[in-house]
């Protein structure tokens, strides 16, 4: 199977990490989703990375559906609990982390537009979601080291991918001061082999007008 990614994408990184944690063999292909000739614009109607291309040509998107597929393909180590309450909790946290990443991507794009047409209101609106999302994640984690019963789950992976993306795009944004517990979670996640080899790297984005 082949995973189409972009190197800064927190959504693609989630999947790249899950594949490595589950030791599933795959090939990675880097795409530029913002480029007019991107691969994903031809294979995903939404034109977004990540897309998983199976050996029989079947395509799967988005990141959370790919991860659900991988969980059924190789259950161990389980990253989405079977218990209904735990499962909803973990998926809800994943949605929260992904939503923060969505807002961060929108700010990044806005800042790539010509300065005179950038909207500060729009940027502030997205920043409010990021701040509130981080506060909610921090409250959910509380004094625990991981979100779910001290077992690694997609909640931890999604959260650490989003926070890593914030560090990449907004190095001056100090989210750690008010969320020490998330800072500790990120530090411990970044020590895993799967995180070390998927560190986000900036790609060119064409100016959007
Ligand atoms: N909900 C999607 C979000 C994916 C996403 O937003 N990917 C961005 C890169 S980080 C993208 O490819 N955007 C291209 C576009 O919106 O045209 C997922 O979880 O896979």
- For the stretch 111-151, pLDDT in tens is 999 999 999 999 999 999 999 999 999 999 999 999 997 79
> Atom 13, ligand 1: which residue's CA is nearest?
48
Give the strand pairing for 27-30 and 2-5: parallel
Name the token pair of 108. 């990044």
Cβ atoms 53, 2 nearer than 8 A: yes
Give the CATH architecture of domain 84-196: Up-down Bundle (1.20)
Query: Is pTM beyond 0.85 here?
Result: yes
Which uninterrupted H or E stretch holds 76? Answer: none
From residue 97, give the alpha-carbon distance in Å to each of 65, 126, 153, 159: 15, 14, 13, 5
> Atom 15, ligand 1: which residue's CA is nearest?
48
Ligand 1 pocket by Cβ (under 6 Å): 6, 9, 11, 33, 47-50, 62-64, 98, 105
Whole-number Å distance between alpha carbons of 111 and 73: 39
Which uninterrupted H or E stretch holds 171? Answer: none
How confident is residue 204, by pLDDT bands cut at 50, 70 and 90? confident
> Atom 19, ligand 1: which residue's CA is nearest?
63
> Atom 9, ligand 1: which residue's CA is nearest?
9
Residues 6+ apart with CB under 8 A from 55: 1
Query: Once rounded to an integer, what is the mean pLDDT over residues 29-50?
Result: 96
Domain boundaries, given as residue ranges, for the chain: 2-73, 84-196
- Of 49, 165, 205, which is best to mutate to test ligand 1, by the most ligand atoms within 8 angstroms of its C-beta? 49
pLDDT tens digit string along 54-110?
Answer: 999 999 999 999 999 999 999 999 999 999 999 999 999 999 999 999 999 999 999
Give the strand pairing for 2-5 and 51-53: antiparallel
DSSP secondary-structure letter at 51? E
CA atoms within 13 A on the CB side of 67: 27
Atom of ligand 1 nearest to the CA of 105: 10
> Atom 12, ligand 1: which residue's CA is nearest?
48
Q: Is the peptide bond before 62 cis (omega within 30 degrees of 0)?
A: yes
Name the token pair of 38. 């991107």
What separation in Å is there between the alpha carbon of 49 and the centre of ligand 1? 5
What separation in Å is there between the alpha carbon of 105 and the centre of ligand 1? 9
CATH fold for the domain made of 2-73: Glutaredoxin (3.40.30)
Residues 6+ apart with CB under 8 A from 167: none
């Amino acid at each position: 199977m082949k995973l189409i990614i972009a190197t800064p994408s927190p959504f693609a990184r989630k999947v790249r990490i899950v594949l490595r944690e589950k030791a599933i063999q795959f090939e990675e292909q880097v795409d530029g989703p913002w480029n007019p000739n991107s691969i994903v614009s031809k294979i995903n109607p939404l034109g977004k990375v990540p897309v998983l291309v199976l050996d029989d040509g079947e395509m799967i998107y988005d990141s959370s559906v790919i991860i659900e597929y991988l969980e059924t393909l190789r259950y161990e180590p389980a990253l989405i609990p079977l218990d209904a309450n735990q499962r909803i909790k973990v998926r809800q946290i994943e949605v929260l982390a992904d939503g923060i990443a969505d807002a961060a991507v929108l700010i990044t794009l806005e800042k790539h537009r010509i300065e005179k047409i950038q909207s500060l209101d729009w940027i502030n609106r997205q920043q409010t979601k990021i701040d509130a999302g981080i506060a909610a994640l921090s409250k959910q984690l509380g004094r625990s080291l991981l979100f779910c019963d001290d077992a690694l789950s997609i909640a931890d992976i999604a959260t650490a991918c989003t926070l890593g993306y914030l560090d990449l795009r907004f190095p001056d944004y100090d989210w750690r001061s008010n969320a020490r517990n998330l800072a500790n979670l990120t530090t411990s996640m970044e020590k895993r082999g799967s995180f070390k080899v998927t560190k986000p790297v900036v790609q060119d984005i064409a100016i959007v007008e």
